[in-house]
């Protein structure tokens, strides 16, 4: 499916390539990498949606807890499931790119980001024979990602990702509703959800999203403006 999506996009990529390196335009060589990354991310966004990653399935999370009542320790558990995460396709350039051209090696770095990400889970808690159903909603203000790639300027070469990793996850707001008499486990459940989402984000961005980005970079090799030589 990914290969099909990339092939379908190639005619558009070719047309955009001409616009990107048009030396008769008003664009200076300094801004060509901004345009290149913006173009690449446009197609990354499309493939993310095509691959069913926005919204994406979240893993189930289960936490255990206990409380002592009248000298007896009781055990219970809570879980969130059927989780869906929205926002991966908002990936975009955040600020200017930077590049160096050292002989025959091009190095390009950029700060990328995700905005207004959210998630929703169904939830359930059980303690002392009491079982309640609940739900959890999550909002993440921002996710910052660092991109670093380089390319040997030679036939058949393309930009190869050296680093593609999360540098910061903004405020995570978690709201769990419906726990009723078991709302005292809220803190434990919220902490578990936050940690689970942080780990999941790192895995999916530095795994599947990195692979999607590399596939697009392999298909679309930047044409370096002649003014730089």
Q: Are 164 and 206 in contact (CB under 8 A)?
A: yes
Tokens describing residue 195: 């940690």
Rounded distance, CA 87 to CA 10, Å? 25
CB contact set of 26 (below 8 Å; sequence gap of 6+): none
Q: What is the predicted pLDDT for the residue at 67?
A: 74
Q: Give me the pLDDT at residue 127, please.
A: 86
- pLDDT in the model for residue 30: 57
pLDDT at 66: 77
- pTM greater than the 0.85 cutoff: no
Residues of the chain short of pLDDT 50, as ranges, are: 1-28
Tell me how far apart the alpha carbons of residues 137 and 143 are, in angstroms, rounded to a whole number. Answer: 17
| Residue 228 confidence (pLDDT) | 67
pLDDT value of position 223: 84
Q: Rounded to an integer, what distance in angstroms lies between the CA atom of residue 149 and that of residue 24?
A: 28
Predicted local confidence at residue 220, as pLDDT:
95
CATH code for the structural domain at 2-228? 3.15.10.50
Sign of CA dihedral 49, 52, 55, 61: negative
């Amino acid at each position: 499916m990914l290969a099909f999506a990339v092939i379908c996009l190639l005619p558009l990529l070719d047309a955009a390539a001409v616009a990107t390196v048009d030396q008769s335009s008003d664009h200076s060589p300094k801004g060509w990498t901004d345009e290149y990354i913006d173009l690449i991310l446009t197609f990354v966004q499309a493939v993310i949606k095509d691959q069913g990653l926005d919204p994406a399935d979240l893993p189930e999370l289960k936490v255990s807890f206990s409380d002592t009542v009248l000298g007896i320790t009781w055990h219970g558990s809570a879980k969130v499931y059927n989780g869906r995460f929205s926002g991966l396709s908002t990936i975009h350039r955040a600020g200017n790119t930077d590049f160096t051209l050292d002989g025959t090696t091009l190095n390009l770095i950029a700060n990328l980001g995700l905005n207004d990400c959210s998630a929703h889970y169904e939830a359930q808690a059980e303690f002392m024979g009491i079982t309640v159903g609940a739900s959890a909603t999550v909002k993440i203000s921002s996710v910052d990602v660092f991109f670093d790639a380089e390319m040997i300027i030679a036939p058949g070469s393309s930009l190869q990702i050296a680093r593609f990793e999360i540098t910061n996850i903004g405020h995570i707001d978690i709201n769990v509703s419906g726990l009723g008499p078991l709302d005292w486990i809220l803190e434990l459940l919220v902490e578990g959800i936050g940690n689970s989402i942080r780990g999941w984000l790192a895995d999916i961005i530095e795994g599947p999203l990195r692979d999607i980005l590399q596939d697009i970079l392999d298909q679309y090799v930047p044409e370096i403006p002649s003014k730089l030589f």
